[in-house]
Structures are given as C-alpha cells and as structure tokens.
Amino acid sequence: MKFVLVHGAWHYGELWDPVRAHLEAAGHEVHTPTAGGLGPDDDKHVDLRGAANPIIEYIRAHDLDDIVLVGHSWGGYLISRVAIELPHRIRRLVYFAAFVPEHGKALVDEVPPHLRAALQASADERGDGSVVLPFPVWRDGFFNDGSAEHARDVHRVLRPQPYGAFTDPADMTGWENVPQAFTYLNPYDDNDITQGEWGRHPRLSNRLGVFRLVGMEGSHEVLLTRPAYTAEKLIEAGRD
C-alpha cells in the first residue's frame, strides 16, 4: 500500500517516524508531510486551507495516487480537505482517532465547552495565533498509556498549534465526489476530549455513512507509545 500519514494538532510529520519505519519494513510506501503552520518557522496565522495546502502540494509534487490517506485527530479535517481537492488520487480514507468534519462546523464546535474555553484562553495569552497543550492534559488525556518520562520527552518537542485552524469552519463542498471508501480506527482508551457524550466515535464517525470500523488498544497517542502495533492496525485499516 501507499500511505500518506497526516499528523494531528501540535504534531508534525517527523513524529510518524517510528510508525513509518514499521510500515516500510513491511513493504509499504510511506509519506509523512507536515501541515501548514506546524513547520518550525511557519506563520501560525493559517486556516484549514492553509494548513492542508502543503499536504496537497506534496502529493502533487510527488505525483502520488492510489493512496491510503490517514488522518490522526485534527488531521481528520486535513485529509477531508485533501480528498475534496484530489479525489482521483485517493484509494481509502482512514480516520485515526480523528474528527470527521461537518460542513460549517469548526473543531471548537466539536469539543466540550471547558476545552473550548481553555483553547481560547491559551490563544489570548499567547497572542501569536497559536495555542499550546498543558502537560497535565497531555499526560492524562492524550498519553495515558505511556510512561511519564516518555510523555515528557514528547511534550517537549510538540509545536504550538495554529488556532485559526481550530476556529475555521469546514467547507465540505465537493465531498460527494470523494471515493466512498472509509475506515474509522478507534483506540479504546482515547480520552483526549473525554469519552461518552463528546467522544468522536460513534458521534462523529457515523458521519461517514458506511465505513469499516477497526478497534485497537491504546490511547490517543498510541502511534507514539506502540508504533509497531499501530503500523499493524493501519495495515488492517487500509487494506481492500
């Protein structure tokens, strides 16, 4: 398979490297571009199109087609935009612990009120168009199946997230042209926005209509805590 792995918020392409190594060892082609606003020197004032554009440009520049396009977390917004722009290059979309956008709704509309308020407070405090993730939230909500030391090591290399990409409503015009081949990959211990009423699955995953559901053990950041296992589940999620 030919994978394009799209990271989530506060992440960037290189954080896929452990998973990428296992996928490549299994004989698959893997690409891990970084979204706009998450490069080391990027302007943080970007919307969803600005965030997705570098991924779209990467796919075009490398003339990639027949791709399994994977979006982790916020990356669900990005792969949806990419698929709308490049439907003929898509083999399957895999939403990995990911948001599934609805036309006219932004990410901040899809999270609990206390998280939306915390994001706004971070944006107000920083004043540069970005928001950051406090370590206690990262440790218990995102990285709950990893060690404290590993959680600290990764948290230190996360990057400020463009807040405009959280407040920009999704434009799903053209979604009907996207190939109807979807997988939702659901980690059972994913608790970054809390489970139950606000959980992504099945609240958001059901927007896909008919889709393959693949469950797996692990937290929201299982790609970092268990990369070999994550690679195995991505292969299961992406297969025909």
The 10s digit of each residue's pLDDT in 57-112 is 999 999 999 999 999 999 999 999 999 999 999 999 999 999 999 999 999 999 99
pLDDT above 70 coverage of the chain, percent: 100
Distance (Å, rounded) from C-alpha 67 to C-alpha 102?
23
For residue 128, name the pLDDT band (cuts at 50, 70, 90): very high
Q: Which two tokens stand for residue 170?
A: 């999704």
What is the chain's mean pLDDT, rounded? 98
Specify the pLDDT at position 48: 98
Specify the pLDDT at position 54: 98
* Sheet with 90-96, side-by-side order of all strands: 29-31, 2-6, 67-72, 90-96, 182-187, 212-216
The backbone torsions φ and ψ at residue 5, rounded to the nearest 5 degrees and listed phi first, read: -100, 120
- Tens-place pLDDT, residues 144-168: 999 999 999 999 999 999 999 999 9
Specify the pLDDT at position 207: 98
Specify the pLDDT at position 45: 97
- Tens-place pLDDT, residues 196-212: 999 999 999 999 999 99
Domains of the chain: 2-238 (3.40.50.1820)
For residue 16, name the pLDDT band (cuts at 50, 70, 90): very high
Q: Which two tokens stand for residue 236?
A: 């299961």
Specify the pLDDT at position 49: 98
For residue 217, name the pLDDT band (cuts at 50, 70, 90): very high
Specify the pLDDT at position 37: 98
Give which of 38, 86, 91, 27 is closest to 59, Cα–Cα: 86
Specify the pLDDT at position 154: 98
Specify the pLDDT at position 97: 98
Distance (Å, rounded) from C-alpha 232 to C-alpha 227?
9
Mean pLDDT of 9-25: 98
Specify the pLDDT at position 196: 93
Q: Which two tokens stand for residue 36?
A: 């706009």
Specify the pLDDT at position 239: 97
Specify the pLDDT at position 95: 99
Q: Which two tokens stand for residue 226?
A: 């268990």
For residue 120, name the pLDDT band (cuts at 50, 70, 90): very high
